[in-house]
Structure 1
Amino acid sequence: MNRTAHIAGAAALSLLAACSGPSSAEIEKYSEACVDFYKEKRAKFTDQVEYRKYWKKEGKIVVSLAVKDSKWSSSYTEGLCVVDLEEGTLQIPALFDRARWSK
């Protein structure tokens, strides 16, 4: 099941991102929004969720997240969050849709 949320100020941010690609400040904002959204919708209460990296695919920004059992854990599972600047939404791809957004 896909999870979607709207992000604030998407219209202004999409204009900036469309011109030159996202700035480091924009990526920081998107990654923080994705971490919070993932924690709210998918993570267990005890999971630690951290930003790893991002890439662009199909005109959207895909944020890779490390989901760990604890902050001391060295192993993690990857979570994905798709940022659609045109629609102003965040989405966590469903299990069968992950391949579409993988790098």
Structure 2
Amino acid sequence: MKRIFAISLAILLTGCFGPSDEQKQRAETACEKFVLEKVAEKYLDETHVFDTYVKDGKIVVEVGYRRESRSYSDGDSYSVRICIYDEEKGTIEIPSLFNMGQWKK
């Protein structure tokens, strides 16, 4: 009984304090556009969101993009960048390679 209550409470708190589906969707859309503009201008307009999660109070979106001229060695693989979306401050950023690790899940 206590375990069911604890699980129910955890689900309720996560739903109340985490970002809504709408907020996550806005973050994904904004991050895909941002990655295309800032990182992938030499790439196709093809992106894919691999994961969206919250870390340190910000929405983190893992955005993949493909090379315009894929060679056999590239196959169908994506390059992936992490995008940090802070709706409160109205900011979007892509962390450098040196501090990308702090934003990984």
TM-score, normalised to structure 2, is 0.69
Alignment pair present for 1:75 and 2:82: no
Would you say how many aligned residue pairs link Structure 1 and Structure 2? 85
1:28 counterpart residue number: 25
Identical aligned residues as a percent: 35
| Shift of residue 64, structure 1, vs aligned partner | 0.6
User: Which of 59, 62, 69 is the equivalent residue of 1:61?
Assistant: 59
TM-score, normalised to structure 1, is 0.70
Counterpart Cα distance in 1 of 2:47 and 2:21: 20
1:90 counterpart residue number: 92
CA contact (8 A) 2:62 2:81 kept: yes
| Shift of residue 25, structure 1, vs aligned partner | 2.2
User: Which of 82, 101, 104 is the equivalent residue of 1:102?
Assistant: 104
Answer 1 or 2: higher relative contact order, Cα 8 Å, separation at least 6.
1
1:45 counterpart residue number: 42
Counterpart Cα distance in 1 of 2:53 and 2:94: 15
What amino acid sits opposite 2:22 in the alignment? A
Which has more radius of gyration? 2
Unaligned runs of 5+ in 2: 1-15
1:12 counterpart residue number: none
| Shift of residue 22, structure 1, vs aligned partner | 1.8
Q: 1:2-21 counterparts in 2 under 5 A?
A: 19-21=16-18
Counterpart Cα distance in 2 of 1:34 and 1:66: 10
Unaligned runs of 5+ in 1: 1-18
CA contact (8 A) 2:83 2:94 kept: yes
What amino acid sits opposite 1:88 in the alignment? G
Q: CA RMSD in A?
A: 2.1
What amino acid sits opposite 1:37 in the alignment? F
SS in 1 for 2:43: coil
